[in-house]
Amino acid sequence: MNNEQLLMLRPDVAGLEKAAAILAEGGLVSFPTETVYGLGADACNDTAVAEIYKAKGRPSFNPLIVHLADVEAVTDFCKMNDTAHQLAAAFWPGALTLVLHLTEGAGVSKLVTAGLDTLAVRVPDHPVAHGLLTAFGGPVAAPSANPSGRVSPTTAAHVAAGLGGKIDAVVDAGECHVGVESSIVSCVGEPALLRAGGIPVEALEACLGQPLAVPQDPDVPAAPGQLASHYAPQGRVRLNAASAEEGEVLLGFGPVEAALNLSVAGDLTEAAARLFACLHALDGMGAKRIAVSPIPDHGLGRAINDRLKRAAAPR
Ligand code: AMP
Ligand code: MG
């Protein structure tokens, strides 16, 4: 087990203060929730969020769930409509994630939302998660604390076995009791079940007094590049471009002359952290044709290239 560099923290006041300090410095801390152990980072820190993808070895940038201490904190970042209030009153804290309209200027990293204007939020029902979120005092982005493609961890030992040497600390509070992921309900438009999970769909529907829509799997596109839930820039995108042609705006990587550069230093973590902000900036510039420098296809470069390929697919 490669966990020499992994700090094991106790779930007491000192341990949670240390964990919150690591998050505030942009570090990665795994913490228990009632569902599984999460891999947490400051949701407002682009680089810290990029480190989540790096540590997990995720080959794509799916939006992440943001964890908050209570409903009041949620209203600082999202607009809660009637559906959201009803579900929150019945199931929070708990194993339910709500997708809500993001409040503009709330400061959440675009890498958390994958550039979307919606945010997935959850108030976990676990005293240690609650203690950490309170001590940190801000939104914590957290997918499950396992390497991509591996089983979700329900003990600190699982986290250490999978991510030891790749993250800063884990708060050890024994086993998670739900053991499956949260149910996800979109409250944007018609209420819809995006993922079945810890809260039974019957209970959700009984609460709302109506059936939940079950959209087509948002990750299975009707046609290439038509992922409703995936942000893509307005302009046409050409990949692996050595330089911009006439009429193109270059999104650079490395030491190239470009209108915008993902990372002049050629650093993949920096490039991941800046990706969605750059895509939005290209829209802001009214770029109709976008050329993108080659990005190395390893580490975070794979997730960056996955997203750029989707942006470049015919629409
Ligand atoms: P996990 O990585 O297991 O925490 O899962 C996060 C889930 O939440 C994924 O299925 C995401 O697609 C989903 N999700 C997060 N944010 C959004 C959003 N804004 N809209 C729709 N789905 C979301
Ligand atoms: Mg997971």
Taking residues 103-123, report their average pLDDT: 95
The enclosing H or E element of 48 equals helix 46-56
| pLDDT tier at 125, thresholds 50, 70, 90 | very high
Give the pLDDT of residue 219: 55
Which SS3 state, helix, strand or coil, does residue 31 take?
A: strand
- Rounded Cα distance between 241 and 244, Å, is 7
In tens, the pLDDT along 137-159 reads 999 999 999 999 888 899 999 99
Give the pLDDT of residue 229: 57
Q: What one-character DSSP code corresponds to residue 3?
A: -
Same domain, 16 and 120: yes
Residue 278 maps to a domain:
yes
- Rounded Cα distance between 31 and 132, Å, is 8
Give the pLDDT of residue 225: 40
Structural domain including 244 reads 236-312
Residue 265 vs residues 261, 268, 269: alpha-carbon distances, Å:
10, 9, 11
Q: Which two tokens stand for residue 131?
A: 């203690």
| pLDDT tier at 197, thresholds 50, 70, 90 | confident
What spacing in Å lies between the alpha carbon of 50 and ligand 1's midpoint? 16
Q: Identify the nearest ligand to the CA of 65 by its number.
A: 1
- Rounded Cα distance between 149 and 129, Å, is 24
**CATH code at position 199:** 3.90.870.10
Answer whether 193 contacts ligand 1 (Cβ < 6 A).
no
Q: How many CA atoms lie within 13 A of 196 on its CB side?
A: 6
Answer whether 52 contacts ligand 1 (Cβ < 6 A).
no
Give the pLDDT of residue 215: 81
Residue at which a domain ends, from 208, 227, 255: 208
pLDDT at 200 over 50: yes
Same domain, 171 and 240: no
**Mutate-to-test residue for ligand 1 from 64, 148, 154, highest number of ligand atoms within 8 A of CB:** 64
Considering its fold, how many domains does the chain have in total?
2
Residue at which a domain ends, from 165, 190, 208: 208
Residue at which a domain ends, from 170, 189, 208: 208
Residue 214 maps to a domain:
no
Same domain, 267 and 158: no
Residue 2 maps to a domain:
no
Same domain, 202 and 240: no
What is the pTM assigned to this prediction? 0.90
Bridge-based pairing of strands 65-67 and 7-9 is: unpaired
122 strand-pairing partners: 67
Same domain, 186 and 266: no
pLDDT at 213 over 70: yes
**Ligand 1 atom with minimal separation from the 118 CA:** 19
Answer whether 195 contacts ligand 1 (Cβ < 6 A).
yes
Same domain, 259 and 190: no
What spacing in Å lies between the alpha carbon of 258 and ligand 1's midpoint? 33
Give the pLDDT of residue 4: 57
